[in-house]
Structure formats: C-alpha cells, structure tokens
C-alpha cells in the first residue's frame, strides 16, 4: 500500500502516513487501494464493504462504483452489479469499460435488449473492440436476431481473424440459418486453429451428418470424444452416425460409452436394441429394451420395440 499524497509505503490499516502525516482512515483513494488488494486476493465481501465505505464518504466516486460492480458481478449479484455500473456512468470520463461490463451483467440477467443497448454504446466509444462485437453478436443470437448476430460476429472476426470463439458462434448462426456449407467452413476454420476445440468438432460433425457426409461426421465426433473423453453427446452422435452407416457393432460400442457416463439413459438403450435387432441379436435387444423401460417406463420407442419383439416368432432379418 502507498500513501495517496506522498506515495510512501504504508500499512493497510495505517491511520496516518508516517512520512507526510496525511490522514488515511477516511481517505477515499486509500480505501480504494485496500479494496483492490482484497479483491485481487479473492476477498470479495471484504472488498465490497470497503467500496461501500468509500462511496459513503464520496457519493460521486465513480471508480468505486465501477469496481464494486465488478466484485458484485463476480459474486453473482448481477442486479446489484447493474445498479453499481449505472452509478459509475454518472461520473465516468471514459465509460467504455463501464458500458461493456454493464452489458455483461444485463446479458447474465437475461435482459437481452439491455445488453444490446449497453454493448452498442460501448462500440460507439471503441468500434475496434473485437470482444464487444462478439458479445453484441451473442446478445443478438440469443435474441433470435440471426442477421444482426452474423453482422457483429463478422465484424469481430474482421478485427481478429483468429478469434476462435467468434468463428465458432458464427458457425452456429449459419447452422441455424440453414446455411450448412457456410457453417462447415466456419467450424473447419476453428478446428484448424484449435484441433482440440471439442464443441467445434461436435458441431462440425452435426452439420456433416445433416448433409449426409457420414464418414467425415464420424471423424469429427471421434475427435470430439478424444479431446473430451467424458463428452457423452459426442459418443451418442458417433453411435448415430455408425448406425446410419449400417455399422451396427461400432454403433453399439459408441452407445455403450454413453452408458458408461450415464447408465440411466433410456434413449441410448433403445438405440442399442435397434442395432441388436439389425444384427439378429434378439436376446441383446430384449435386454436393452428391458433396461430402457426400467429407467423410463413411458418411453414410446421402447414400448413399441418391446411389443414388436414379443410378436417375433422367427429370427429377425436385416431390414427392420
């Protein structure tokens, strides 16, 4: 800690500076220093209390409101953070960072129009901020305005072509727009930059599956589970891809990986039953259906297959 007046080193609980004699107990800048020290050490509650004290002494202390808002945001008190950021704006000479954090807090609250407003104001002050374009794009996406989301994400990427998060989200936008080829292009860019980006590999696999490129989809789902071995959706979609290819044994292996992670997944048991039926392993199919119904008695696919299996009197042939 240092004395705000003479910059001499002082103890955090000092009441006066030994060098210049300045009073520190009610000095807003010194209290702010102490609050920052607590904040950086993870003592959020103590930091907020100190900023509250500083604001009581100096009600227009915009810096105190801003950092108090940061601490409240970190603590999860988003509505209080919004109020603190708004108070910070009243006396802030350089409000870009305040508008940006206000946008983040409002986004967290689900106030999408509010977050769009705040991020837009931040961009007017700093149009070269790729992160702000990205956050504004996320707000538009969550607000179902895909065209505006695309516009802001492309602006972020124009500023930073290696911005993998923006590239990834833009891929999601294209996918939701039904522009599969553009989505594939975006996800491939992400995977090229970051091969272990699990979500990008997975979403690339999903789009490839929609376009019928099953072999490439299998490759991407395999990459997803290799980078994240506990990523159950990756194993499930890997099983789906194999099943659509007619590789039923490989599909069962993938589905079993899902069950290793989630033994109560009735839908996966149904898929295993279907594959076993294609392989004429009716006992295996019956066992899988029994487990599916044990976990979810109302699963309609399981009920249908259970009825169908009971009616079978001859060995099943491929083509069911």
301-312 confidence digits (pLDDT tens):
999 999 999 887
Mean pLDDT (whole number) for 4-9: 58
Q: Are 54 and 61 in contact (CB under 8 A)?
A: yes
Position 4 confidence tier, pLDDT thresholds 50, 70, 90: low
Per the model's pLDDT, the better-predicted residue between 240 and 311 turns out to be 240
15 pLDDT exceeds 50? yes
Class of domain 21-93: mainly alpha
What is the value of pTM for the model shown? Answer: 0.86
Rounded Cα gap, residues 139 and 116, in angstroms: 6
> Tokens standing for 2?
């240092």
Mean pLDDT (whole number) for 151-177: 97
DSSP code for 15:
S
Mean pLDDT (whole number) for 140-167: 98
Among 24-33, 53-62, 164-173, the range scoring the smallest mean pLDDT is 24-33
The confidence score (pLDDT) of residue 252 equals 98
Segment 23-47, tens digit of pLDDT:
556 788 889 998 999 999 999 999 9
Position 155 confidence tier, pLDDT thresholds 50, 70, 90: very high
Note the helical H segments in 194-247.
198-210, 214-227, 232-245
Rounded Cα gap, residues 58 and 70, in angstroms: 19
85 pLDDT exceeds 80? yes
The domain locations on the chain are 21-93
Compute CA distances 266 → 184, 252, 308, whole Å.
31, 14, 18
Q: Are 169 and 187 in contact (CB under 8 A)?
A: no
The confidence score (pLDDT) of residue 76 equals 95
Distance of alpha carbon 104 from its chain centroid, rounded? 13
- Tally Cβ neighbours within 10 Å of residue 184: 21
Rounded Cα gap, residues 87 and 208, in angstroms: 49
320 pLDDT exceeds 50? no
The confidence score (pLDDT) of residue 14 equals 60
13 pLDDT exceeds 80? no
The confidence score (pLDDT) of residue 312 equals 76
Segment 200-235, tens digit of pLDDT:
999 999 999 999 999 999 999 999 999 999 999 999
> Tokens standing for 92?
């802030």
Rounded Cα gap, residues 223 and 219, in angstroms: 6
Q: Are 159 and 128 in contact (CB under 8 A)?
A: yes
């Amino acid at each position: 800690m240092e004395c705000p007046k003479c910059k001499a080193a002082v103890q955090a609980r000092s009441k006066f500076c030994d060098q210049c004699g300045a009073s520190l107990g009610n000095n807003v800048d010194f209290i702010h220093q102490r609050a920052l020290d607590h904040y950086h050490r993870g003592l959020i509650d103590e930091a907020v209390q100190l900023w509250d004290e500083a604001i009581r002494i100096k009600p227009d202390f915009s810096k105190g409101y801003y950092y108090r808002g940061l601490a409240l945001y970190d603590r999860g008190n988003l509505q209080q953070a919004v109020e603190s950021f708004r108070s910070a704006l009243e006396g802030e000479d350089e409000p870009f960072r305040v508008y940006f954090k206000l946008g983040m807090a409002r986004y967290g609250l689900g106030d999408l129009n509010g977050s769009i407003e705040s991020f837009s104001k931040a961009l007017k002050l700093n149009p070269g901020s790729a992160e702000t374009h990205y956050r504004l794009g996320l707000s538009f996406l969550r607000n179902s305005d895909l065209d505006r989301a695309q516009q802001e994400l492309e602006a972020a990427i124009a500023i930073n072509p290696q911005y993998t998060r923006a590239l990834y989200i833009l891929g999601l936008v294209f996918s939701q727009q039904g522009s599969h080829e553009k989505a594939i292009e975006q996800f491939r860019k992400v995977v090229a930059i970051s091969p272990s980006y699990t979500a990008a590999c997975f979403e690339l696999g999903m789009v490839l599956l929609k376009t019928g490129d099953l072999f490439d989809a299998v490759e991407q789902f395999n990459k997803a589970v290799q980078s994240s071995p506990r990523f159950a959706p990756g194993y499930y979609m890997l099983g789906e891809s194999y099943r659509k290819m007619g590789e039923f044994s490989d599909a069962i292996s993938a589905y079993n990986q899902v069950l290793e992670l989630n033994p109560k997944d009735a839908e996966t048991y149904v898929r295993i039953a279907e594959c076993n039926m294609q392989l004429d392993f009716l006992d295996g199919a019956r066992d899988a259906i029994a487990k599916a119904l044990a976990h979810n008695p109302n699963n309609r696919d399981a009920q249908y297959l259970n009825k169908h299996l009971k009616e079978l009197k001859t060995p099943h042939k491929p083509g069911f």
